[in-house]
Structure 1
Amino acid sequence: MGDYINSNQNDFYWSQQPQNPQMPGQTYYEQDYNQFQNQQLEFNTNTDYANQNFANYPPQMLIPEPYENFQKEGDEFDEPPFLEEMEIYPDRILEKILAVLNPLRGHSLADDAEYLTKESDLAGPVFFCIMLAFSLFLAGKNAHFGYIYGITMICCMVMYSLLSLMTDTGGIFSLSTVASILGYCLIPIVGLSFIGIFVKLSGPIGLGLAVVVIFWSSVSASRLFVAVSGDKEQQPLIAYPCMLVYGVFTLLVVF
């Protein structure tokens, strides 16, 4: 009885399917199945493409680019040296050291105002101040790092004020330029301080060396200041406050 009911339901389902009016007696589902069965895949039968000889084509995708191209691209990202990033220029430092050690020299690059004022480095002055304080510490002096730092700051500000008043063109001297010149001209005093580690400078010989060192540093500093201002007639006037400044540092070294 159940089989009879199921067969009747199936007959009823297929009888209710829509008929194709173009092909009587055949439903849409049967037509789609017959079309898919008779369909053939169409392949590209282009003989020109099939007869191409790919052996003649070099594998261009596998050819590496020349090393020169990579080198040119790498040059764009080259960074400056580490010392230049820290604004430390060894050639500039060496030129100023030689200018201080030989104050009676002829005209050199250190006598150029633009060379002294443009990018006036403070690496050399800081180094010489540290060396001066370190030598005083080794010599057993009470005045070393704190005294050197305080006196240097006061001397730089006083000299900057005096030079600004003495020059006609305002703004030609900057505080960094004054500090750079005063710091580089400490080289003779630093040499005297290292001598004081092994020899007592409070005697006649030490006092004579102190006078020579003060005169040496004052002449070097006044010449560099005159090179910036451009008025050579003011060198004796500028040398006098320089002698006072370096006299204070020399007193710390001798006594």
Structure 2
Amino acid sequence: MGNPDLIGPIIFCLLFGSILLLRGKFNFGYIYGVASLGSIGIHIIFNLMSEAQLEASNTGSILGYCLLPIVVLSAISTFLSPSGFSAITAVSCIICLAWSTITATRMFVTSLSMKDQIILVAYPVLLLYSCFALMAVFY
């Protein structure tokens, strides 16, 4: 990746928090905390796993832009099932979580040339996006 852009991920985090704010949940601190610690942790793990090095801004950019399906999930869970957990929310959670994880994993595998370690790349990314999905659906 040539030029990392962090404005888009910040806007996606703001949008995610704003949609959750419509439910009466003020979670901006949790969102930015999980995003920063997750990004730093994944950056450290992937730089230790690969021979190529990835800048922290590239890691944040990839993780932030791949957060868009989770933002869509928060909108679905807020507007389509405001009373609580439903079948629509469960199906959309699985789809959006898979979409975010697969997209970020492909970008990391391509950037770091780690084609033999796809599962090892996908697992921490899945855990990070699962935290966001739990926030979107239950918190």
TM-score above 0.5, yes or no: yes
**Is 1:128 matched with 2:12?**
yes
How far did 1:174 drift? 1.1
In the alignment, structure 2 segments of 5+ residues that lack a partner are none
Q: Alignment partner for residue 198 of structure 1, among 79, 92, 100?
A: 79
Provide the rounded CA distance (Å) in 2 between the counterparts of 1:197 and 1:211: 16
Q: Over residues 155-192 of structure 1, what are the superposed CA-to-partner deviations in whole Å (9 max), with x where a residue is unaligned?
A: 011101110111023xx211111000000000101111
Match of 2:22 in 1: 138
Higher relative contact order (CA 8 A, sep 6+): 2
Q: Higher helix proportion, which one?
A: 2
Percent of aligned pairs sharing the same letter? 38
Paired residue type of 2:100: S
Provide the rounded CA distance (Å) in 2 between the counterparts of 1:252 and 1:183: 16
Match of 1:178 in 2: 59
Contact preservation (8 Å) 1:139, 1:196: no
Q: Over residues 110-145 of structure 1, what are the superposed CA-to-partner deviations in whole Å (9 max), with x where a residue is unaligned?
A: xxxxxx2x2211111111111001001012234x21
In the alignment, structure 1 segments of 5+ residues that lack a partner are 1-115
Contact preservation (8 Å) 1:226, 1:232: yes
Q: Alignment partner for residue 225 of structure 1, among 83, 108, 119?
A: 108
How far did 1:251 drift? 0.2
Paired residue type of 1:190: V
- SS of residue in 2 equivalent to 1:220: helix
Contact preservation (8 Å) 2:76, 2:89: no
How far did 1:241 drift? 0.8
Q: Over residues 193-227 of structure 1, what are the superposed CA-to-partner deviations in whole Å (9 max), with x where a residue is unaligned?
A: 11222122512321221111111100000000011
Provide the rounded CA distance (Å) in 2 between the counterparts of 1:153 and 1:179: 8
Q: Over residues 35-77 of structure 1, what are the superposed CA-to-partner deviations in whole Å (9 max), with x where a residue is unaligned?
A: xxxxxxxxxxxxxxxxxxxxxxxxxxxxxxxxxxxxxxxxxxx
Provide the rounded CA distance (Å) in 2 between the counterparts of 1:214 and 1:237: 17
Match of 1:152 in 2: 35
**TM-score under structure 2 length normalisation:** 0.91
Q: How many residues align?
A: 136
Match of 1:207 in 2: 90
Match of 1:162 in 2: 45
Superposition RMSD on alpha carbons, in Å? 1.3
